[in-house]
Amino acid sequence: MKMLINVPETVVADALRGIAAAHPELTVDVENRVVARRDAPVAGKVGLVSGGGSGHEPLHAGFVGPGMLSAACPGEVFTSPVPDQMVRAAAAVDSGAGVLFVVKNYTGDVLNFEMAAELAEDEGVQVAQVVVDDDVAVSDSTFTAGRRGTGATLFVEKIAGALADEGAPLDRVAAVARQVNGASRSFGVALGAVTTPAKGSPTFDLPAGELELGIGIHGEPGRERRPMMTSGEIADFAVNAILEDLRPTRPVLALVNGMGATPLLELYGFNAEVHRVLSQRGVPVARTLVGNYVTSLDMAGCSVTLCQVDEELLRLWDAPVRTAALRWGR
Residue 232 CB coordination number (10 Å):
15
Q: Can you spell out the DSSP letters for 213-272? A: ET--TT----SEEEE---HHHHHHHHHHHHHHHH--SS-EEEEEEE-BS--HHHHHHHHH
Q: What is the DSSP letter of 80?
A: P
Report the alpha-carbon distance of residue 280 to residue 141 in Å, rounded: 31
Q: Among all residues, which ones are annotated catalytic?
A: 56, 218
Crossing angle of helices 152-165 and 170-182, rounded to 10°: 150
Where does residue 153 rank: exposed (0-12), middle (13-18), buried (19+ CB within 10 A)?
Answer: buried
The alpha carbon of 252 is separated from its chain's Cα centroid by a whole number of angstroms, namely 18
Nearest to 37 by CA among 123, 99, 129, 108: 99
CB 317 within 8 A of CB 158: yes
Which of 321, 43, 324 is closest to 163 using CA atoms? 321
